[in-house]
Amino acid sequence: MHDTIVFTRGVPPTDAFPTAQIAECLATAVESDAAVVLQYGQQPGYAPLRALLAAEYGVNDNEIMVANGSLQLQDLLAAHLVRPGATVLTEQPSYDRAITTFRRRGARVVGIPLERDGLDVTRLEAEVKRQTPAFLYTVPDFQNPAGVTTSLEKRRAILEIADRYGFWVIEDIPYRLLRYRGDSVPMMRAINPDRVITITSFSKLLSPGMRVGYMVAPSSLAAAVTKEGENTYLSPVLPTQAAVAEFIRRGWMAPNIERLKELYRPRWEAMMSAVRRYLKGVVASEPDGGFFVSVTLPADANTRNLVARAKEIGLVLTEGQAFFADPDEGPMPDGERFVRLPFCAVTPEQIDEGMRRLASLL
Ligand code: PMP
């Protein structure tokens, strides 16, 4: 067992892709609607896909924008909402690329410590009092990177603050449908649709390479962000959007999500039991779904050392700092001691062996 084990990237394994079905849907989409999908146009996204998503969310078509992946929507939203000197709040830790994207659009990004049931609401309010942010960015279900799900109580509290002080909440929910146990918590949109911009993606449900992500937002905001998109790429990539629409129309989405859960559940179970077996006394998240478990190393440990030592014994880990907007803040993991462990692209055997190796270093 000297194979290298990689606990770094949160990407689906190749066998997660419904390749033959996607190929069929792409062919049908291009053949049946060539005049639209091979042409410029449809700037807010492929109209039939928007209609399907609008029906699913119970909104109007003009409240849906589909773009080339959800990260691009975060970027276009930030381009529209962040004014010079503006603050953007994130959980701490948060999705590293979101932090980078918001900064590149000129935001001062402030991290609000993440607790086991969502961000610290008292700290949120204190920060908001100091300066009303352009928006709060949250990943409320099976968060990347920590694996935490925000409780209903905290979702309500966050939205109450957002309403009182007047700022947007962006809920980013790419992992939401990959739940391995328990009941789902209502979306933030369901609590207050007037304050919430929902962003999600087919990257984890179909394929990241198709680059199809979408946003649900008030129509005026969707129109403004569409304009940002049009000035960036003229048209989004339409053939893959049309293939997603075809996949949904054929009734293949729900069974595909079930298949993915069957694929990932044993990996999640292996990770949870390995954490219990090998990392006694180490603080770990207990996700109910998604791709990630995270651990906080003991006070004397440091991920920089750990990453180097792990490499020597065939274990690839990522340093935690990039997930922290303020590396020195927070009671839960601080960046120096935080390790994200994605479990979906590794087999149960690799998970067990990888965690055994990790424990041997601690
Ligand atoms: N948000 C989160 C929380 C993610 O984990 C990811 C992918 N790792 C993205 C957004 C980006 O997804 P997409 O492929 O749709 O751009």
**pLDDT tens digits, residue range 337-357?**
899 999 999 999 999 999 999
Pair 158, 41 in one domain: yes
Residues belonging to the chain? 362
Question: Which CATH number is 293's domain given?
Answer: 3.90.1150.10
CA distances from 330 to 74, 132, 182, 241 (A): 25, 21, 28, 40
Please identify, by atom number, the ligand 1 atom nearest to the C-alpha of residue 95.
3
Express each pLDDT in 112-161 by its tens digit.
999 999 999 999 999 999 999 999 999 999 999 999 999 999 999 999 99
**Residue 137 resides in a domain:** yes
Q: Which of these three, 226, 249, 272, is where a domain ends?
A: 249
Q: Whose CA is nearest to atom 11 of ligand 1?
A: 71
User: What is the CB < 6 Å shell around ligand 1?
Assistant: 10, 69-71, 95, 139, 144, 172, 174, 201, 203, 208, 213
Residue 301 confidence (pLDDT) = 80
Pair 271, 296 in one domain: yes
How many domains is the chain built from? 2
Is it the case that residue 336 has pLDDT exceeding 90? Answer: no
Q: Which of these three, 199, 232, 249, is where a domain ends?
A: 249
Pair 89, 36 in one domain: yes
Mean pLDDT for the chain? 95
Pair 237, 291 in one domain: no
Pair 12, 61 in one domain: no
CA of residue 23 to ligand 1 center, whole Å: 23
**Residue 25 resides in a domain:** no
Pair 321, 290 in one domain: yes
71, 141, 206: residue to mutate for ligand 1 pocket, most atoms within 8 A of CB: 71
Is it the case that residue 332 has pLDDT exceeding 50? Answer: no
CA of residue 272 to ligand 1 center, whole Å: 23
Residue 327 confidence (pLDDT) = 61
H/E element, 53: helix 47-57
Q: Which of these three, 249, 269, 297, is where a domain ends?
A: 249
Express each pLDDT in 183-207 by its tens digit.
999 999 999 999 999 999 999 999 9
What ipTM was estimated for this complex? Answer: 0.99
> What tokens does 173 get?
């929910």
**Residue 223 resides in a domain:** yes
Pair 143, 194 in one domain: yes
* Alpha-carbon span 144 to 293, nearest angstrom: 9
CA distances from 14 to 116, 145, 210, 285 (A): 31, 21, 14, 26
Pair 148, 122 in one domain: yes
Q: Residue 212: phi, psi to the nearest 5? A: -125, 115
Pair 230, 291 in one domain: no
Pair 200, 286 in one domain: no
Dihedral (CA of 30, 33, 39, 44) sign = negative
Pair 231, 259 in one domain: no
User: CA triplet 83, 87, 93: central angle to 5 degrees?
Assistant: 135
CA of residue 197 to ligand 1 center, whole Å: 15
Structural domain range at position 141: 30-249
CA distances from 271 to 281, 284, 294, 296, 304 (A): 16, 11, 10, 15, 23
Evaluate the omega torsion of the peptide bond into residue 287 and state whether it is cis, within 30 degrees of 0.
no
In terms of Cβ atoms closer than 10 Å to its own Cβ (0-12, 13-18, 19+), residue 207 is buried
Please identify, by atom number, the ligand 1 atom nearest to the C-alpha of residue 74.
10
Please identify, by atom number, the ligand 1 atom nearest to the C-alpha of residue 70.
15
Question: Which CATH number is 160's domain given?
Answer: 3.40.640.10
* Alpha-carbon span 158 to 191, nearest angstrom: 10
Q: How confident is the model at residue 244 (pLDDT cuts 50, 70, 90)?
A: very high
pLDDT mean over 49-64: 98
311 within 8 A of 300, measured Cβ to Cβ: no
* Alpha-carbon span 226 to 147, nearest angstrom: 31
Pair 83, 156 in one domain: yes
